[in-house]
Amino acid sequence: MPSVRPFAASVLVLAVATFAYAADVDQWTVEKRVDSMTDKEIRTAQVTNAEGFTFKIYRVEDGKVWATFRLPEGGDVLGSELPMYRIDKHEAVQLRLVPPGTPPEVLAILGKTIDAQPRWVNFLLWHGEGKTAVAGTLREILDGTSMVFRYNLIGGGYRDTSLSLVGAKPVIAEALQIDSDPTPEAVALASARSQAVEMCTPFALARKSKDFRRCETVLHDCERLETAATFTPCIQEGFSKAKLFK
């Protein structure tokens, strides 16, 4: 049986190793680990591109879903302004800290949404309620093909990096334990709820605390309803009784 020469063997090993690395690049995977303090399994959907940038999606203890964008070790660090991202042809999103002076009523709604360090930024992606994301950033990710991040450099200028979303949907669904796609009924209910919240938000921004609390009470009273056909009349009746919109 002919033997493989040392040089040929080394080339073969290098080729196999290179292929294995290339196969892992831009491939979404689920990372599983056990929290040593709670013994709970933590699942993270993640992808790393050829440049070494990583994007992760995971659910935290309160049920909310967060994302992490991380820069490669030993390279750039984030500038003073937080990164922005764009999914396919959707409108770009600039990550921002809640500005000083934000009304307490708005802070109560938002809660903590961003945490940043020199090489990474964590940001709230989805409230985590329901069988799956019906709209918003997580839905765009699930249905998307690519996600571009742009971050500012300390010395000036900026840098873009792109991460593939191809194949992300089933992996993210497994990690978060959600359905891959929403039902038409869920889409209709989410739309109705979003419209109701948007109607209440101006009261908070205008610091009309009394009106905001009444609006919030109506939302709370109707949130138990599970279809748009029952939720919308509940909201309309509640707003009418509270005399919020004339």
Q: Looking at the domain assignment, is residue 16 inside a domain?
A: no
Q: Give mean pLDDT, residues 27-39.
A: 93
Considering only residues 158 and 108, tell me which one the structure prediction assigns the higher pLDDT: 158
The number of folded domains in the chain is 2
Q: Which tokens go with 190?
A: 């989410």
- Same domain as 193, residue 136: no
Query: How confident is the model at residue 106, as a pLDDT?
Result: 60
Task: Find the range with the poorest average confidence among 15-24, 38-47, 83-92, 229-238.
Answer: 15-24
Does the residue 152 lie in any domain? Answer: yes
Q: Using the 3D structure, point to which of 147, 176, 205 is the last residue of a domain.
A: 176
Answer yes or no: do 115 and 212 share one domain. no
pTM for the whole thing? 0.75
pLDDT tens for 120-134 read 999 999 989 889 999
Structure confidence at residue 246 as a pLDDT band (50, 70, 90): low
d(CA 218, CA 39): 39
90 and 201 share one domain:
no
Mark whether 201 and 136 lie in a shared domain. Answer: no
Residue 202: which domain range?
184-242
Domain boundary among 153, 176, 199: 176
pLDDT of residue 211: 85
140 in the same domain as 65: yes
Question: What confidence score (pLDDT) does residue 125 get?
Answer: 94
In a domain, 21, yes or no: no
Give yes or no: residues 154 and 203 share one domain. no
- Which amino acid would we find at residue 166? V
Task: Tell me: do 165 and 234 sit in the same domain.
Answer: no
pLDDT over 70 percentage in the chain: 84
Tens of pLDDT along 220-231? Answer: 999 999 899 999
Question: CA–CA separation, 67 vs 56, rounded Å?
Answer: 5
Give yes or no: residues 137 and 189 share one domain: no
Q: What is the pLDDT of residue 134?
A: 92
Which residue carries 């919109």 as its tokens? 245
- Cα–Cα dist 182/189, whole Å: 11
Nearest to residue 176, comparing CAs of 41, 69, 45, 67?
45
